[in-house]
Amino acid sequence: MTDQLKNHILKFVTPPDNELQSFLNLMELEDIKNRDYLLKEGHYCKYQYFILKGCFRSFFIDRKGVEKVVNFGIEDWWLTNFDSFINQTISELNIQAAEDSKVLKISKSNLDHILRDSLELNRYFRIILEKVRIADQRRIQFMYNLSGEELYTVFNEHNPDFVQRVPQYMLASYLGFTPEFLSKIRRKKKQ
Amino acid sequence: MTDQLKNHILKFVTPPDNELQSFLNLMELEDIKNRDYLLKEGHYCKYQYFILKGCFRSFFIDRKGVEKVVNFGIEDWWLTNFDSFINQTISELNIQAAEDSKVLKISKSNLDHILRDSLELNRYFRIILEKVRIADQRRIQFMYNLSGEELYTVFNEHNPDFVQRVPQYMLASYLGFTPEFLSKIRRKKKQ
């Protein structure tokens, strides 16, 4: 099951075999049923997760009691609540499976341990974080600049398979509008 | 001039002296006058910048012709447009000084060179990026969850000195509302 992660790492860096194997040995496999949680608000986020199969969303409940989706994750993505994971603070976010899923997880102490000595794995996580930063920056720019319909069009262009997989109400929440508005846009696109 | 960066690095990691010195030797000093640009949209972002003194904002012009501030940077922050710097794409963002400022900059080829072999500097940039990720996530959550007035209160709590330094219209743009609305909130707070 760790071959998928191994291949992902080797796309970006080339750690010595023993280093890579030590890292993979620290990963624990977990099966998650659709709608089960990796993390619930009010708890500490103890792991970083690498998604082998399935789909997750992270969300919080706003003060009006409405779910707000802030992130999605699918195969070959890393997922965590960094604020809670790094700073050991209580999580305001939930991470929930949107399909039956499978993840590899690593605890903070094990990750810290491996990152103390591995040049290539530090490089790997740095490169991943640069990509995340780029995505976050684009997202913030889009939130400032695009109408709901344009937001959907751009998101669709960048993630066509993904849009088909995720329930409509989750996608609507992520893009910041109502499911009804999303249905309207989708109907318009099909015409 | 590189002592300030050296001290910042040593807060997080402990590279061997020769590694640290090689890195610092690659940094170039640049003085920037208030309102001058480190990066203009339509150009490639060739550097990562470490701010020694002063204040910068990155912004884009939205389709209505309005400036939208997406980031600020002050002393001891790293600043770049990652999308353009990493992917060598044309920048949609501008980075402009908001005060007379001083930066150290490093080119992509020099940074790639040093990060090929240095465990501790990879650790350093990974740790910085984790902090950036946490800030971006909080920002996205705030944008979804807070009213203009609350946004200002939270931002003020987290960055009291900063709020005094930055021109009001820039701060308003960053927080997503008009300068008039910001003046109104400030007046209310003083009562």
Nearest-angstrom CA–CA distance, A43 and A75 = 25
| Interchain proximity B92–A130, CB inside 8 Å | no
CA distance B176 to B171: 8
- What ipTM score was computed for the predicted complex, to two decimals? 0.89
Q: Which tens digits make up the pLDDT trace of A119-147?
A: 999 999 999 999 999 988 888 888 777 87
Given pLDDT bands bounded at 50, 70 and 90, which one contains residue B74? very high
Residues of B in contact with A132 (CB under 8 A): 129, 133
Taking the CA of residue A64 and the nearest CA in chain B, the distance in Å comes to 9
By Cβ distance, the residue of A60, A126, A141 closest to B129 is A126
Q: What is the C-alpha to C-alpha distance for residues B171 and B191, in angstroms, rounded to an integer?
A: 21
The Cα-based distances of B26 to B3, B78, B140 in angstroms read 14, 15, 35
In the CATH scheme, what architecture does the domain A2-145 have?
Sandwich (2.60)
Q: With contacts defined as CB-CB under 8 Å, which chain A residues touch B86? A: 130, 134
Per-residue pLDDT reduced to its tens digit, A17-62: 999 999 999 999 999 999 999 999 999 999 999 999 999 999 999 8
Give the A:B interface size as CB pairs under 8 Å.
94
> Which two three-digit tokens encode residue B174?
């960053």
Q: Do B134 and A86 touch (CB under 8 A)?
A: yes
Q: Do B86 and A119 touch (CB under 8 A)?
A: no
Establish how many alpha carbons lie within 13 A of residue A190's alpha carbon, considering only the half-sphere containing its beta carbon.
6
Give yes or no for A176 touching B (CB within 8 A). Answer: yes
Q: What does each C-alpha distance from B172 to A121, B152, B181 come to in angstroms?
A: 40, 9, 8
Write down the domain spans for chain A: 2-145, 146-191
Buried b (16+ CB within 10 A) or exposed e, B127-157: bbbbbbbbebbebbbebbbbebbebbeebbe
Residues A139-191: pLDDT tens digits?
888 877 787 788 888 888 888 888 888 888 888 888 877 888 888 888 887 76
